């Protein structure tokens, strides 16, 4: 009796499926390698972009701070304008009443 050399000779019914799956796994591995290269290139480009834009970061941060401050001040400014319009309306009404009744 001879020793088994690791080769299947019985022609298992799943051997065709194994070959098909092996081919599919190789294709998936190639796609993963391509995606890995693309992600590496994107990472390099993103780092270069961030390094290029870093001098603008303080100015952008200042603009964001001013914008947030304007959102806080908006109710106060709107209230002040409403108050001024109301007081102006009172003075106009008083002036109109005086003009009609003081003659």
pLDDT above 80 (res 94): yes
Average pLDDT of every residue of the chain: 86
Residue with tokens 């806080």: 72
Q: What percent of the chain has pLDDT above 90? A: 42
The angle subtended at Cα 31 by Cα 21 and Cα 18, nearest 5°, is: 5
41 contact partners, CB below 8 Å, separation of at least 6: none
Give the Cα separation of 95 and 103 in Å (integer). 13
Write down the pTM of the prediction: 0.40
15 contact partners, CB below 8 Å, separation of at least 6: 8
pLDDT in tens, 45-61: 999 988 887 788 888 88
Residue 16: the pLDDT is: 67
**Domain chopping of the chain, boundaries:** 18-101
Q: Would you call 42 helix, strand, or coil by DSSP?
A: helix
Closest CA to 73 of 85, 84, 62, 81: 81
């Amino acid at each position: 009796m001879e020793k088994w050399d690791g080769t299947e000779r019985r022609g298992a019914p799943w051997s065709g499926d194994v070959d098909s799956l092996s081919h599919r796994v190789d294709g998936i591995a190639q796609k993963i390698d391509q995606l890995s290269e693309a992600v590496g290139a994107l990472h390099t480009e993103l780092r270069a972009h961030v390094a290029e834009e870093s001098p603008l970061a303080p100015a952008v941060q200042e603009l964001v701070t001013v914008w947030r401050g304007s959102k806080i001040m908006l109710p106060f400014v709107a209230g002040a304008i409403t108050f001024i319009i109301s007081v102006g309306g009172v003075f106009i009404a008083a002036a109109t009443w005086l003009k009609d009744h003081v003659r």
